[in-house]
A and B are shown apart, each in its own frame.
Chain A
Amino acid sequence: MKMMMNMMSCLVVGLALATSAYAVDGGNPKKGKHLYKKTCKVCHSQGDVGGEMTPMTKTMSQWDRYFKRNKHKGNPEVFQQLSDKDKLDIQQFLYDHAADSDQPQTCG
């Protein structure tokens, strides 16, 4: 049982480290909000084909994973058309206002 607990706490610490290692930094969240409204909301507003997406749709680490791995794989062209800086700005905005952030936002 004790070993189990130790393993569990290692896992938790490991996970926490892995998560913090992702934490996006260096983007401009204000620019990101603008870019998000302009490029993402076109297909991700309520009732749209892409389904509604707001910063609160995901947690901070989910957003980071999304930008690192998924990269809009359903329609990768969308991401390819954006510059790395623009993507970083959007990611920063989504991360800063994710469901588990200090300031969750639906994007006004």
Chain B
Amino acid sequence: MKTPIFPLLLGLLISCSSWAGQDHGEILSGPFASGSEVTSQCIECHEEHATALMKSSHWTWELEQQLPDRTVKRGKKNTINNFCVAVSSNEPRCTSCHAGYGWKDNNFDFNDMTKVDCLICHDTTGTYVKDPAGAGEVAAKVNLTRVAQNVGRPVRDNCGSCHFFGGGGDGVKHGDLDSSMSYPDKATDVHMDTDGNDFQCQDCHVTQDHQITGNAMGVSPGGDNPIGCSNCHEAEPHKKAKLNQHSQAIACQTCHIPVFAKNEPTKMSWDWSTAGSDRPQTVDQYGKHSYMKKKGDFVWAKSVTPEYAWYNGKADAYMPGDKMDAKVTTKLTYPLGSISDPQAKITPFKVHTGKQIFDKKHNIFITPKVFGKGGYWKTFDWAKAAELGMQQNATMVEKGISFSGEYGFAATEMWWPINHMVSPKSAALQCKDCHSAKGGRLDWQALGYDGDPMKNKTGVRHAR
């Protein structure tokens, strides 16, 4: 049966013009005293959209997922990272990036639809901001009526308001996402180049019913990632057969994202063990803090060459309460795969290193309370911060773990896949960048090869 084309075209027309066609200025007169008041109006017509959003991890901050040896519920809600360590007990600060209003402690009502923050994603005025330490509530200076009257489809600025500034500042976490991606030029990102393709985030992170595809390894190592270059590009896109052969063992990103943090520096290391000293506060060559009494030592870097590892699309992670060994570096999140895994490809990563507090008796990582009353940033007392943080952490309470009274600092790593900041092809890696007599950017031994496989023809090869 042929599809009648007229209703199809009509449907398309209606769906395309749905934002532009509806003047929200006529419906939403305001004034609004709070974000929730706006939401109450939104859901008069958009209840199903709020319901859908409430099923997504932008709202729940957790996702049931499969790690190699267990099924876990994991997300921002309970992840231990090597930045500010954990959301729990630090809510009003961390939850300023929650797509909701008022998550200030464990009592937040995840069933209250009026707490959904529609505007953080749908503001088109560029003036909507959340209070940085207000549990997701709107900053006082925002003109809510104007923002509500001008809602529309998200642009990079909307997603970026959290995803470019996670970890408390511009470019802190990802390395391939920072404020320069709001309006990037071609050299920064060929896909999002404002004078070229001008892709918005959702052009690749395809979204249906408010479920946005894509999962960050830090929070969802077991999450699906149906986004990939081959969704748009052919599997063998190069003219040269040699390059197409390479793509069986090497991720596209490896050659096409030769460096990350192209414009803004990213944080590469955070050492909490030196916090609390009266050493003077210092800044580095980028103007970023390199020592702060509250937070310890930082290392920032710009135009960073990634680290490379085999990655088969799956990852593993440290879960709260897992035993750790302070004598070795704990990988809090890391990619899975090896040279003998046919599904794995050599993939670029930002590796963020840290030194963070752990319980010497229980041999687990501690989630300290750093923010707010009794927090480390006020008291500079690690024992107190550890005790309060563990008491207020629902996962730790559920597991029956409390602070033993003895703490130390142990080394950690977090692996962040590099997927954005794709360079123009003229800047892609060349043969010699890896296959060089002087030693290129790949550590062949660490990857499981006997040496450069171009020269060592009889050595170990990638399983295919």
Contact = CB atoms under 8 A, between A and B. Distances in A.
B182 A34 contact: yes
B182 A30 contact: yes
Contacts of B137: none
B125 A28 contact: yes
Interface residues of B, number: 9
A89 B157 CA distance: 14
Contact of A34 (B124, B127, B194): B194
A29 B126 contact: yes
A31 interface: yes
Contacts of A30: 126, 157, 182
Contacts of A28: 124-127
Interface string B126-144: 1100000000000000000
20 contacts: A25-B146, A26-B146, A28-B124, A28-B125, A28-B126, A28-B127, A29-B127, A30-B126, A30-B157, A30-B182, A31-B126, A31-B157, A31-B183, A32-B126, A34-B182, A34-B183, A34-B194, A38-B183, A38-B194, A89-B126
A63 B126 CA distance: 19
B142 to A, nearest CB: 12
Contacts of A29: 126-127
Interface of A: 25-26, 28-32, 34, 38, 89
Interface of B: 124-127, 146, 157, 182-183, 194
A67 B35 CA distance: 33
A94 to B, nearest CB: 14
A89 B155 CA distance: 15
A40 B124 CA distance: 23
The CB with the most chain B CB atoms within 10 A, among A26, A28, A32, A38, is that of: A28
Contacts of B146: 25-26
The CB with the most chain B CB atoms within 10 A, among A28, A30, A31, A34, is that of: A30
A29 B143 CA distance: 14
The CB with the most chain A CB atoms within 10 A, among B126, B127, B157, B194, is that of: B126
Contacts of B126: 28-32, 89
The CB with the most chain A CB atoms within 10 A, among B124, B182, B183, is that of: B183
A52 to B, nearest CB: 20
Nearest to B183: A34
A38 B127 CA distance: 21
B431 to A, nearest CB: 36
